[in-house]
Amino acid sequence: MCGALIPSLPVDDDQPGAANKARERFYSASAADGAIPDEVAELATRCVWEAVLLMRVILWILSTKVGTLALCGRLCISSRFPFVCKFADMPTERREEVLKRWNNARWLFPLRVTFVIVKILSHFSFYMMVNEGSDNPSWKSIGYSVPDVDRPREDLTEAAASPSPRPLDSGVVEMRSLNDATLLRALMDKGLATKTYVSGAHHTVRCDVVIVGSGCGGGVAAAVLAAAGHKVVVVEKGDYFTSEDYTSVEGPSMERLYEKGGIFCTSNASTIMFAGTTVGGGSAINWSASIRTPEWVTQEWAHEHGLPMFGRPEYAHAMDAVCARLAVTGGCREEGFQNKVLRGGCEALGLRADAVPRNSSEGHFCGSCHLGCPTGEKRGTDTTWLVDAVAHGAVVLTGCKAERFILERNTGNKNGRSKKCVGLVASCASAGITKKLRIEAKVSIAACGALMTPPLLRNSGLKNWHIGRNLHLHPVSMAWGYFPDGTPGPQLITGKCYEGGIITTMHRVTERTIVQTPALGPGWRR
- pLDDT per position as a tens digit, 345-398: 999 999 999 999 999 999 999 999 999 999 999 999 999 999 999 999 999 999
pLDDT at 526 over 60: no
pLDDT at 61 over 90: yes
**In this predicted structure, what is the pLDDT of residue 412?**
72
Q: Stretch 47-68: mean pLDDT, rounded?
A: 93
- Say how far residue 293 (Cα) sits from the centre of its chain: 22
pLDDT at 232 over 50: yes
Q: Do the Cβ atoms of 242 and 387 come closer than 8 Å? A: no
Confidence bin at 153 (pLDDT 50/70/90): very low
Sign of CA dihedral 174, 177, 179, 185: negative
Q: Stretch 231-257: mean pLDDT, rounded?
A: 95
**In this predicted structure, what is the pLDDT of residue 87?**
95
Q: Stretch 64-71: mean pLDDT, rounded?
A: 94
Q: Do the Cβ atoms of 113 and 266 come closer than 8 Å? A: no
Higher-pLDDT residue of 82 and 421 is 421
Q: Distance between CA 489 and CA 416 in Å, rounded? A: 73
Mean pLDDT (the chain) is: 90
The answer to which of 192-196, 236-240, 489-493 has the lowest mean pLDDT is 489-493
pLDDT at 150 over 50: no
**In this predicted structure, what is the pLDDT of residue 17?**
52
pLDDT at 162 over 70: no
pLDDT at 143 over 90: no
| pTM of the complete model beyond 0.85 | yes
Q: How many CB atoms lie within 10 A of CB 55?
A: 20
pLDDT at 475 over 80: yes
> Rounded to the nearest 5°, which phi and psi values hold at 355?
-75, 140
pLDDT at 149 over 60: no
Share of the chain above pLDDT 70, in %: 92
Q: Would you put residue 73 in left (φ > 0), alpha (ψ -120 to 50) or beta?
A: left
Q: Do the Cβ atoms of 477 and 270 come closer than 8 Å? A: no
pLDDT at 517 over 70: yes
Domain 165-288+370-466 fold is: FAD/NAD(P)-binding domain (3.50.50)
> Rounded to the nearest 5°, which phi and psi values hold at 256?
-100, -10
pLDDT at 158 over 50: no
**In this predicted structure, what is the pLDDT of residue 160?**
43
pLDDT at 55 over 60: yes
Q: Which residues of 334-351 are buried (b: 16+ CB within 10 A; e: fewer)?
A: ebbbbbbbbbbbbeeeee
**In this predicted structure, what is the pLDDT of residue 146?**
86
Parse the chain into domains and list their residue ranges: 2-141, 165-288+370-466, 330-365+491-526
Q: Is 269 exposed, middle or buried (0-12, 13-18, 19+ CB in 10 A)?
A: buried
Closest CA to 54 of 270, 260, 267: 267
Confidence bin at 488 (pLDDT 50/70/90): low
pLDDT at 496 over 90: no
Q: Distance between CA 252 and CA 18 in Å, rounded? A: 31
**In this predicted structure, what is the pLDDT of residue 10?**
84
Q: Do the Cβ atoms of 428 and 178 come closer than 8 Å? A: yes
Q: Do the Cβ atoms of 247 and 148 come closer than 8 Å? A: no
**In this predicted structure, what is the pLDDT of residue 41?**
94
Count Cα atoms within 13 angstroms, Cβ side, for 106.
Answer: 0
Q: Distance between CA 491 and CA 387 in Å, rounded? A: 44
pLDDT at 226 over 80: yes
The answer to which of 62-71, 289-298, 410-419 has the lowest mean pLDDT is 410-419
- 2-19 per-position pLDDT tens digit: 999 999 988 775 555 544
**In this predicted structure, what is the pLDDT of residue 43?**
93
Q: Distance between CA 222 and CA 169 in Å, rounded? A: 16
Q: Stretch 196-218: mean pLDDT, rounded?
A: 90
**In this predicted structure, what is the pLDDT of residue 358?**
97
CA distances from 250 to 144, 145, 161, 198 (A): 12, 11, 28, 48
